[in-house]
Amino acid sequence: MTIVLHIGFPKTGSSALQYGFEKNREILAANGIHYGQGHVSALTSRGGITSGNGARLAQYLVPRRRTPDFDEAAFAERFASRYVSADHPISLISSEALAFAEPAMLARFASQVVRNDDVVVVAIIRDIYGHARSAWMQGIKRAASSRDFDAFSIESYAAHQVDLLRAYVAALGRERIRLLHYETEKHDLLAAMLRVLGVDAVVDTSLPAINRSLSSAEIEVLRACNAAHRDPAISRLLSDMLIEKYPDRSSHAEVDPEIVARFEARYGDDVAWVNDTFFAGRPTLRVAAPPREPSAAPAAVAAEAIWLDVVAALAGRVRELETPRRPKAAAKAGKAQKSADAAAAVDEAAPGGKGPGDKGPGDKGPKSKPSRSKPSSGKAAGARPAKTALHKTALQKLPPWLRKGLRKIGIRSAKKTAG
């Protein structure tokens, strides 16, 4: 029996691979590979973003991830029933969380849990610059970060994928590690994984775009939003909306030579160790790929269009938080009016858009005053209070037309909301 651990590393297409494992579960089984069901199915989850089928094993190998109900001894006894099939010689377990296993727990897992079974680890490593940029972008998407890439590369980035690889080698030995290079294999990542697993059957290796990178314009818009709201829940809402609405949007960005030089000085020895240890000294892993030949880049999406999507998403979120729960019949009756209100809010937020009472160049007659009705306070029976409030100083830095749109849909500065 062989236990294969797919450990990531983070930001190397793990979510897409786990989708592929589930999609091709029957083909894997026919080739002697058992891939057990995870807590959440990658095929049915929103966006296909899951943690694979190795969450419980990750708790065993990474004690700081354990939930209060986790019992180490009980897990060791039940490992085979959870992950192993007697009808298949190979059991595949996949989770990025496995990458952070403690060396002592890895040794205990090999000697006390799987015992006579062989353990093989499959990892995917990414060029330093691309990995750093992806990690920076993840902070913008999920943690409301507003830093630029240069500051992130100086203050926060560490090439932990190399450190994690060293820990696995120290605990289990080089001979148990299979390492793939992300940039070499990314155009058919599942085919590369199946090759390592020894599957030569005809398989549909196409994978959906899951958690794609952001375009340069999307990054700048979300950074401005993050500086204003500083709320990870909102950054997740907005990034998920953009990724799901535009799954094929181009995310190409030029490489910054100053950051590359900084990474060369900092991580050159780590890159050389990986190439010597796993790629027979060939320069497979790099700090950064050489610049690409100039080509016709896809038309850039204007920042104004992205801001409109942001306003529309926030409009829906604020109304969801502030609207009292109503019976189905009443909710259905108000649906048409709600849609019209949201469309009007977006129209007024657009560059050059006119709100109620605004007078354009050709307009004549007196200017009527806009309605001063206040947004719902969320205090009605059954209502959930609004949680969206922007810091006043940051709000003032946003484009005037966006501030107008945000006020229209009920988002005020933190100071005004509190008062």
Concatenated DSSP letters of 227-268: HHH--HHHHHHHHHHHHHH-TT--------HHHHHHHHHHHH
Question: What's the confidence (pLDDT) of residue 305?
Answer: 87
Tokens of 186: 């990314």
| 338 to 28, 319, 345, 404: CA distances (angstroms) | 48, 9, 11, 19
Contacts of 31 (CB under 8 A, 6+ apart): 197, 198, 199, 201
3-state SS of 17-31?
HHHHHHHCHHHHHHC
What whole-number distance in Å separates Cα of residue 124 and Cα of residue 416? 49
- The helix, strand and coil proportions of the chain, stated in percent and rounded to the nearest 5, come to 55, 5, 40
Return the structure tokens found at 82.
């959870």
d(CA 388, CA 295): 42
Secondary structure element (H or E) that encloses residue 4, with its range: strand 2-6
Cα–Cα distance measured from residue 119 to residue 88, given in angstroms and rounded to the nearest whole number: 15
Domain ranges in the chain with CATH number 3.40.50.300: 2-138+149-211+259-278
Greatest pairwise CA separation for the chain in angstroms: 89
pTM: predicted TM-score of the whole model, two decimal places:
0.76
Q: Which two tokens stand for residue 230?
A: 């500083």
CATH superfamily of 2-138+149-211+259-278: P-loop containing nucleotide triphosphate hydrolases (3.40.50.300)
The Cα 362–Cα 9 span in angstroms is: 60
Return all residues near 331 (Cβ < 8 A) that are at least 6 apart.
none
Q: Quickly count: other Cβ atoms within 10 Å of residue 105's Cβ.
A: 16
The predicted structure's pLDDT at residue 41: 67
In total, the chain counts a number of residues equal to 419
Q: What is the reported pLDDT for 206?
A: 83
pLDDT confidence of residue 104: 94
Give the number of C-alpha atoms closer than 13 A to the C-alpha of residue 263, restricted to the C-beta side.
27
- Do β-strands 118-125 and 90-94 pair in parallel, antiparallel, or remain unpaired? unpaired
- Average confidence (pLDDT) per 10 residues, the chain, 419 residues: 95 91 92 86 60 91 94 92 93 96 94 90 97 95 95 94 96 96 95 93 79 90 90 92 88 90 97 98 94 63 85 73 54 54 48 44 47 45 46 59 62 47
Gap between the terminal Cα atoms of the chain: 65
Q: The tokens 């093989």 sit on which residue?
A: 120
Q: What is the pLDDT of residue 96?
A: 94
What is the Cα–Cα distance from 330 to 373, expressed in whole angstroms? 22
Identify the residue whose tokens are 């377990």.
93
Residues forming beta bridges with residue 181, ordered by sequence position: 125
| Cβ pair 91, 34 in contact under 8 A | yes
List the Cα angle 203/19/205 in 5-degree steps. 25
The residues, any chain, with a CB within 8 Å of residue 351's CB and separated by 6 or more, are 304, 399, 401
